[in-house]
Each structure stands twice: as structure tokens, then as C-alpha cells.
Amino acid sequence: MKDLNGKVCVITGAGGGLGRELAMACARRRMKLVLADVEAGNLETTRTLIQQELPGTYIVTQQVDVSKFEQVATLAQLAVQRCGGVHLLFNNAGVGVTAPIWENTVSDWHWVTNVNLYGVAWGVKAFTPIMLDQGEGHIVNIASAAGWMYSAGSGIYNATKAAVVALSESLANDLKMANSAVGVSVLSPAFFPTGIIETERNRPAEFADAAADSEMKRQYEECVRRAVEAGKISAREIAEITLKGVEENRFYLFPHAWVPGVIALRSKQAQEGMTAFNPQS
């Protein structure tokens, strides 16, 4: 989708981090914005920041829990009603937990899977038919380098992001079989400064049973925090890389250039078949 000027984009998780920067990048391309987040206050902050930099940008906001299909479907209806269609969708909302995988609770599994996997699935289900009817559109699913290589301490997150890669490849192949012009990209960044380490504040009460504190859990949390804070590429840079990928109709988007090389090493070790690949080794 080379010309984004005047087109409509929908972004989940737009209240901060990468979602906010994606919104800014789309606004700079003079797109109409439909922004969603579970935190209404942060969503309004995003709106204010965009309007300060780019007055006149058309913005619609909606508080949405992407784990609820009905809310995502309502967001799709809102976009069509207010903007006449949807041309670009970013399934961006995500959360994470850290702990040895045997210490993760059932609630940990439900919460992270509901947001990271079902949130993407519901976006695909709600918005793809709109794009098919239009005869154009592009869907960007936010995975992670963790969808390709699986460090200790983030088992649930890793599993959900690997599933997003699989879902995205499946979607792209389904669309090819349908002879559709709708495009797909899967974005797989490594660590970068973002609010993913603070997502516990949005954990629903029904899934409040988190993994108990332990020495291993504390070590994992500290490792993730340091890695996020030390990220060399900013959310704004990743957003620009992503939009350029959409404009070039690229499927695999790796903002961190070293990630494909590590994936190749993983493939080589898989062929040898002796031990699980460890990206931290």
C-alpha cells in the first residue's frame, strides 16, 4: 500500500509505547486515525500529543479490551461508520509476565493468551472481511523476536508471540488462496524501550492470581527490565520501519537487523536436533 494519504488506520494498544508511535507515524502520513486502548486516559494523551504536533488530524478513540471479540467487532463497526472503511490495521496490544514456566498460574496463561493471541485473532476476524469487501487493505500483526527464539523466563509470552507468527503466515496464505489484494505483515522487534514491563497494572481482577514471588522470578524480571531499558532502537524508529514495510508490502519486518541471523542459527541447531536453542547462550 504505497499511498497512505487520506486512508484509515486502526491501532490497538495506542495509549503508549509502540502503539502511540505508530499513531504518530500514520498521522504524519495524513491518515485518519481510529485509536483503541484499554486505558482511556493514556488514549486521550495520545490524541493530545498528535493534535499538538499535527493539528487537524482526524482522530476517533475508543476504549477497547482486545481480549473481548465483541469489543473488537464494535471497534470495526465504529471505524466503518465514522471513516467509511479501514485500510490499515495494527494488532498491537500486548502484555507479558515473567517466571519459570512451571510457576506461572492458570490466570497468567489466560490473561496473556487472551490479549496477545486472541487479541490479534479477533482483529483479523473483525477487520479482514471489511478489507476484502473494499478490495484493499493491509494488516500488521505485532509479534516479537520472542516469537522466533525462546529465552528462559518468558514462556507464555514466547508461546503467544510464536502463535502470532503462525497466525500471520496462515492469514497471508489464506489471502493468496482467495486471490485477494489485502496485504499482511508480521513485525518482530527485539527489546526496545516500552511499557511492556508495566502491563501488570492492566491485569483484570478475574486473572489476579499471578505467579508467586521467587528468586528465579525476580532474576527474570530484572533481566527483562535491563534489556528493555538498554534497547538501542526507539519505538519511534520501529514505527517508521513498520510503515515503510507496509508501503513496500513486505511480510517479515525485523527492525533489529541481527534477528534473522539468530533465526538462521536456531534453524541450524534444530537440524542437528540435540538441544533446545538458547538465544542467551
Active-site residue 157, yes or no?
yes
List beta partners, residue 142: 187
95 and 73 in contact (C-beta within 8 Å)?
no
Give the integer Cα–Cα distance in Å for 68 and 42: 20
Q: Which of 118, 150, 157, 220 is catalytic?
A: 157
Place of cell 495524513: 30
Nearest to 140 by CA among 248, 256, 43, 267: 248
Residue 186 burial class via C-beta count within 10 angstroms: exposed 0-12, middle 13-18, buried 19 and up? buried
Is the Cα torsion angle 123, 128, 131, 137 positive or negative in sign?
positive
Strand-pairing partners, residue 252, are 186
Pairwise CA distance, residues 11 & 23, whole Å: 7
Residues assigned a catalytic role: 157
